[in-house]
A and B are shown apart, each in its own frame.
Chain A
């Protein structure tokens, strides 16, 4: 079927300049849809002075708001509402695709004023506070305007179904599989049989990223593999974390915050990537990136990770939050080289379904389903009157 050009409007609730999963996803989606010949514009909270890609329209500066247990930078207020209205009007979109529509920011405003068909993607796994947000009477009328709902994982879908009724289509987040597969190893991080390398990547001071679980597993790991090197990458205070775990600087190698390019090299180099997250993950894109690059994955057995790892066929799982179990599984991954190689091979094929070429096509399928029916442009009154006239 030859795809006709669509005018697509993507809406982000989070400040564009703050790096985060949702905005990376929107950026990649915008670029892939553009490459397929569609006209894409993105509306996101951002200052006017901010350096933005040409397709991003700034919706105004953000205010730090305590929301859903953490501080988020959101945009709202009359000025933002006017900009949303103008962007919608000038864009004249065939479809408006709103990400995280229940976050009280640009997306929620766009939801109320969009006249084009609306597609919404629910990213985060919905904790209780979010479930309440869905039930909020101020949000409900907006949610009724969504023509098609996408959830990024089965977990996210289940919560939606439970709290909102109806259903959602599961379309995972996309990854540039080839880019990670082409990553060049860096000798500094490459392991040897005597000195295998294990990498952690994530905020060091955010408990749910699970650095403490990994640090807790180090003593036991060292007993079995004295030469194992643990590489820790990410922002935050490492010394405090080490103190709490009773370890010293000599026990790990600190890489600090690493660039996107270094991330590619890291995944291509290390023997094992460990994801000890303790919760709050709905998808696990980093796992897919590590798998694409050919690193063996050891992850906590959260539902989201279990799904990404094909229930253990693409990587090893350990009991969430249990350092002793993590040490056992890490030892297994290092000892059973053949088993680990088989998992990595399976993972290489399994990640294809997360490749952007597949994901973008599936998103376009959804767009096609909502843009087919011509929108009824008449207002309620016009149609009521027309209805009465027909009755006469």
Chain B
């Protein structure tokens, strides 16, 4: 083989490697965007859930003790706890664990305050209570959806980032490895609302 031929083959191989790497980088990048996007959706849904809980607490539909506890938990979740997004460049802020605990506390407070199926039926008998409850159910369900979709994106990203090529060539850049968002989100025993929003 002449020098020219060797060069040609080398260039060809390099080009092929480059295509593979660019492809991989694009996949990693797309997944990162999915993680950031779904995370901001999750953030928005969690806030709506806390708002619905706060409204229920403010509406005199619960007993006074429950109302105070739910209102406190909702306030903590919607205002005090660290945000999931809003870092400088929408980075994957490492705030999930703390936020998850606060959101779980809201879930536990709601579960205790709402009681069992009979108590729920009683609350539903009152039109004002029914409307508030329906909103809470819908927001809880949507928060569950948002968390599921976010965690899907996280798991897919983690899988791809374990690929040896992605690690060797640092295709993930400086982005932190995303982690799934864990919380107790079963306010209504997993039964989705019968009506949409």
Contacts and interface: CB of A to CB of B under 8 A. Distances in A.
Contacts, number: 86
Nearest to A170: B192
Interface string A136-155: 00000101111111000000
A360 to B, nearest CB: 8
A22 interface: no
Contacts of A369: 41, 45, 142, 145-146, 149
Contacts of A168: 148, 152
B62 interface: no
A165 B33 contact: no
Interface stretch (A196-204, A244-252, A263-271, A370-378): A370-378
Contacts of B44: 372
Interface string B145-170: 11011011111100110000000000
Interface string A368-388: 111011111000100100010
Nearest to B26: A380
A169 B145 contact: yes
Contacts of B159: 165
Given A362-B192, A362-B196, A147 B151 contact: no
A353 B45 contact: no
Given A352-B194, A365-B196, A166 B156 contact: yes
B41 A372 contact: yes
A147 B149 contact: yes
A366 interface: yes
Contacts of B89: 387, 390
Interface string B22-41: 01011101110110111011
Contacts of B160: 144
Contact of B145 (A1, A365, A383): A365
A166 B151 contact: yes
A373 B40 contact: yes
A360 B194 CA distance: 11
B38 A144 contact: no
Contacts of A358: 194-196
A361 B148 contact: no
A1 B151 contact: no
Most chain-A Cβ atoms within 10 A of its Cβ — which of B45, B138, B146?
Answer: B146
A169 B143 CA distance: 12
A255 B127 CA distance: 51
Contact of B156 (A165, A360, A370, A374): A165
Given A148-B149, A380-B25, A380-B29, A166 B155 contact: yes
A237 interface: no
A365 B145 CA distance: 8
Interface string A260-280: 000000000000000000000
B197 interface: yes
Nearest to B150: A369
A127 interface: no
Most chain-B Cβ atoms within 10 A of its Cβ — which of A3, A144, A360, A390?
Answer: A144
B148 A169 contact: yes
A149 B33 contact: no
A258 interface: no
Contacts of A364: 196
B189 to A, nearest CB: 15
Given A166-B151, A365-B196, A144 B30 contact: yes
A3 B197 CA distance: 8
Contact of B148 (A3, A167, A360, A387): A167
Given A148-B152, A169-B148, A365-B138, 10 more contacts: A144-B34, A144-B156, A146-B152, A147-B153, A149-B149, A169-B145, A358-B196, A365-B145, A373-B36, A373-B41
Going nearest first, the 6 A-B pairs with the smallest beta carbon separation are: A361-B196, A373-B37, A166-B152, A166-B155, A165-B155, A1-B197
Interface of A: 1, 3, 141, 143-149, 165-169, 352-353, 358, 360-362, 364-366, 368-370, 372-376, 380, 383, 387, 390
18 contacts: A146-B152, A147-B34, A147-B37, A149-B149, A166-B154, A166-B156, A167-B152, A169-B148, A352-B194, A362-B192, A362-B196, A368-B142, A372-B40, A373-B40, A376-B33, A380-B26, A380-B29, A383-B29
